[in-house]
Amino acid sequence: MIKDNNEPQDIGERSFDFSLRVLRFVESLTNNKTNTILSSQLIRSATSIGANIEEARGGHTKNDFSHSMNVSKKEARETLYWLRLLCQYNNFPERRTKHILQEAEEIVKILTTIVKSAKPRLIVKD
């Protein structure tokens, strides 16, 4: 679900849309053993981002939320790694991969911010 440029897209919807883009990207790859293996890793990590966001939303405590969002962030970082590897392995021109790599980087940044803000803060009393 693409939203108006003036309204930020929900991270859950954004990660879902990103997963669809990754699946389409994988479908466009040449069918060879290396691409198949790397694509499998990419699909697992990319689809796990949104699944963990949904798990975080269903968490019973702030710690549940924080833990699942942190897992989602880690999956996003892993996804970026597999994307970069596949793009370089296939020697794709930048114009073909720029947008999907940029979206992966932005999702990592968003999730990093969410994780940082969700961490419990210590209250120090004098």
What local confidence, expressed as pLDDT, does residue 2 receive? 46
Q: Is the pLDDT of residue 8 over 90?
A: no
Is residue 1 very low, low, confident or very high in pLDDT (cuts 50, 70, 90)?
A: very low
Average pLDDT score over the chain: 91
Residue 83 contacts residue 104 (beta carbons within 8 Å) = yes
CATH number at residue 75: 1.20.1440.60
Question: Cα–chain-centroid distance for residue 107?
Answer: 5
How many independent structural domains does the chain possess?
1
| pLDDT tens string 41-74 | 999 999 999 999 999 999 889 999 999 999 999 9
Is residue 115 very low, low, confident or very high in pLDDT (cuts 50, 70, 90)?
A: very high
Is residue 123 in a domain?
Answer: no
Is residue 125 in a domain?
Answer: no
CA trace torsion 80, 41, 25, 15 (10° rounding) = -60
Is residue 73 in a domain?
Answer: yes
Is residue 23 in a domain?
Answer: yes
